Amino acid sequence: MPRPIQATIHTAALRHNLSQVRQAVADAKVWAVVKANAYGHGIERVFEGLRGADGFALLDLTEAERVRALGWRGPILLLEGAFEARDLELCSRLHLWHTVHCDEQIDMLALHKTHEPHRVFLKMNSGMNRLGFAPHRLRSAWTRLNALPQVDEISLMTHFSDADGSKGVAHQVARFEEVTRDLPGERSVSNSAATLRHAQDPAVKSDWVRPGIAVYGSAPDHPEHNAAHWGLQPAMTLSAQVIAVQHVQTGDSVGYGSTFVAEHPTRIGVVACGYADGYPRICPTGTPVLIEGARGRTVGRVSMDMLTVDLTPFPEAGVGSTVTLWGQAANGVVLPIDEVAQAAGTVGYELMCALAQRVPVAVAG
């Protein structure tokens, strides 16, 4: 028997989440963002659930090849564009649309030999200060691109730093609008947080929205809102079984560093999931889990291959019981990945992306 741990990717949840996004922005086309191997879910595993998107956005060229290999003939956008001149050959061959965020990428395009001009997304830095042309440089970049025979349509994009928080997007939208107002082309500005939180704001115009985290069923603005608030369902479940039970007495400790000391006789379940599976070691005693679909908690330190839970409130549970680390239990109860992420001081994104290679993954309908 293989080690009793499993991740499950829920095709129906992906489809549902995509439709939630579509409802939020009825007029916009949707890029399903599948970078980082579909946020750890696996590009091939999410494809069926997300093929209703208008396009796929990602940044590794090998991932673009994988999407084409699945038979996808629609748009694919490289969110960071070409890294070197050779990448443009693949763009020509696979009809990839690509971001242009710096002069060096325009230089590469100008030297690129292609029969088919490329669709590009010209990126402005509206305040995030990561990628993109500064506002005062955007127009000259656009003019330069527009003069290139290698370039077909030019779309305009920017990225928000605070769509999930109180600072919001207005300051960036204003800067973007001011510079791009009289430039033609489609706009792409909204990530998940902007798509869900600022959809009703007429100033946030996005012909193409770029949701990632929302399609995987995690709230972009947890804990202000949870996934249920946005009508999102978890696309990934991580579950494992109890492989041993220990009866500890008052004063006994559990696990490395003896961080948990029993205050009364306690039944400890040892679960076949550890940090080498992608479960964060930093999660403290009290991190929520589902034990046969009922809320329980971890105790003690997470180790490489195991973690421990308090089975005392669950007299029926024992070796072979299923513990859901995040996602949906068999009885339908959900433990949002965002709650586990919060216990680890991070975000759902990081947990799903860190699902380890050694965990077997099943795809459910």
Which residues participate in catalysis according to the annotation? 35, 256
3-state DSSP assignment of residue 33: strand
Question: According to CB under 6 A, which residues from 64 to 103 bind ligand PLP?
Answer: 79
- Out of 213, 240, 254, 272, point to the residue binding ligand PLP (CB under 6 A): 213
Size of the site for ligand PLP (CB under 6 A): 13
End-to-end alpha-carbon separation of the chain, Å?
24
Instruction: Kindly state the smallest distance separating residue 353's Cβ from ligand PLP, in Å.
Output: 10
The contact pattern for ligand PLP, residues 158-197, with x = CB under 6 A and - = no contact, is -x-------------------------------xxx----
**Residue (125 or 322) nearer to ligand PLP, CB:** 125
CB of 232 to ligand PLP, least distance (A): 12
Helix H or strand E encompassing 65? helix 61-69
The residue among 299 and 337 lying less far from ligand PLP, judged by its C-beta, is 337
Q: Note the helical H segments in the chain.
A: 11-24, 35-39, 43-50, 61-69, 85-94, 103-111, 135-146, 170-180, 192-197, 337-343, 348-353
Cβ 217 to ligand PLP, closest distance in Å? 12
- Site membership for ligand PLP, residue 212 (CB under 6 A): yes
Residue 337 in contact with ligand PLP, rule: CB under 6 A: no
From 67-75, 207-215, 293-301, 352-360, span contacting ligand PLP (CB under 6 A): 207-215
Residues contacting 7, CB < 8 A, separation 6+: 236, 237, 238, 239, 355, 359, 360, 361, 362
Select 9 or 193, whichever has its Cβ closest to ligand PLP.
193
CA 184 vs CA 149, 175, 180, 195, 339: distances in Å: 17, 17, 8, 22, 43
Find the binding residues for ligand PLP in span 275-334 (CB under 6 A): none
The residue number with the shortest CB distance to ligand PLP is 212
Helix then strand then coil, % of the chain, to nearest 5: 30, 25, 45
**Cα(205)–Cα(157) distance, rounded to whole angstroms?**
11
Q: Which one, 33 or 340, has the nearer CB to ligand PLP? A: 33
> In the window 103-162, what residues touch ligand PLP (CB under 6 A)?
159
Quote the least distance from Cβ 60 to ligand PLP, whole Å.
Answer: 12
With respect to ligand PLP, which residue has the nearer C-beta, 193 or 329?
Answer: 193
CA atoms within 13 A on the CB side of 95: 9
Residue nearer to ligand PLP on the CB measure, 220 or 300? 220
DSSP letter at 124 equals B
Binding to ligand PLP in span 253-272, by CB under 6 A? none
222 in contact with ligand PLP (CB under 6 A): no
Q: Are 164 and 197 in contact (CB under 8 A)?
A: yes
Rg (CA), the chain: 23
Q: Are 186 and 156 in contact (CB under 8 A)?
A: yes
Phi, then psi, of 107 in degrees rounded to 5: -55, -45
Q: Which residues bind ligand PLP (CB under 6 A)?
A: 33, 35, 79, 159, 191-193, 210-214, 220
